[in-house]
Amino acid sequence: MSTVEQALQRIPRWRFALWLALATVALAVLAYSPRFENWNRGYPYSWETSRGAGFLMQSQHPFRTDVEPAIRWRLLPPLLCYAVGLRGVPALVVPWAGVLALLASTAWMLLGRAVSRVTTVLGVLLLGTTSAVIISVGWLGMNDAWVWCGLTVIALARNHPARCGWAWLGPWIDERLLIGLPLAVLLHAKLAGFDTWRALLRRNRLVLCGAALYALTRVLALAFVSGDPSGGFVQWTVLHVHEWLPNAVPGWWEGLRAAWVLVGLALIIRPHSRLPGLNAALTVQAVVTVAIMVLLAADLSRSAAIMVPAAVVAACQLERDRPSLAAGIVALLLVANLAMPAATVIGPYTLWLENFVQHNLGRG
């Protein structure tokens, strides 16, 4: 055991996870600076503030119908804000809390899977260089990190009630949890000791029931509730998908960049489970997940974060199969992400990101 590993081992697990989460947020802010000038000037239709305006409106009245259709069903965060009395700017702390939850829980679960503390540090820092963190830190009112946290818990956690809780509540934060759920369940199977597909389904029946209930609610609302925005949103995407489809590959690349290597490894590394054809099923489901997201969402780099659970599972598998190489591989990917340019891609538009010094101090 290295000296660094021994020093990190002396830190209590909960404190280690919390401090690592805070350090990763600091890295994200420094390496991919939010455009604070848009926050201060309050541009109502900028990428960074438009969703925040809608979220604040929902926090005042969660069931209002004059917000953009994409967030009408994302009710859990504004309901919580309304219940505890968070109004106005203080409500914007909720997305940042989601970032800390994503990072701290990922660190906690990696340690629970016997991943070394050095690899855990590098892996969580790598997560901070992806759109899973960059978007929620840089854009106001974006609760994405809560969704990625839920999918990562479903894929990685040993605690079955926690997995079930996220499956039942997560879609009410963002329906993308429903889209990413089948892939997360298959990723969980790579780390668990299932012998048959029936055993996998039996173990995850409550997880799948939570998702099915949400899906049924949406279908019934579309059929019987006047003014439900779901149908109109799907029609709009069908009519406009040609505008962002040519940019899909560079857009999704920018979401994870070097971390895509881990996603690829998650699909090919030998699973712990003895399920026949698991890697093939994972690959097919990954392609289906990407296809659905590309067809439904113009914010391409942001959507790519739905693959974060695969990257985290791959880190666990590397530690299990190649413990002497795991930290080095993750470190190389982290350095690559920090070294290469990063951008946010929405439809045909690309916004290149700058570090804190370039963006905020290098203007004068």
Residue pLDDT tens, the chain, 364 long? 688 989 999 999 999 999 999 999 999 999 999 887 777 665 555 778 888 888 999 999 999 888 888 888 999 999 999 999 998 889 999 999 999 999 999 999 999 999 999 999 999 999 999 999 999 998 988 999 999 999 999 999 999 999 999 999 999 999 999 999 999 999 999 998 888 999 999 999 999 999 999 999 999 988 888 777 777 777 888 888 888 999 999 999 999 999 999 999 999 998 877 888 999 999 999 999 999 999 988 899 999 999 999 999 999 999 999 988 999 999 999 999 999 999 999 988 999 999 988 877 765 4
Locate 341 and state its tokens: 């340019």
* The residue to which tokens 């009395």 are assigned: 85
* The residue to which tokens 């994302």 are assigned: 74
**Where does residue 30 rank: exposed (0-12), middle (13-18), buried (19+ CB within 10 A)?**
exposed
Sequence letter at residue 153: V
Global pTM reads 0.94
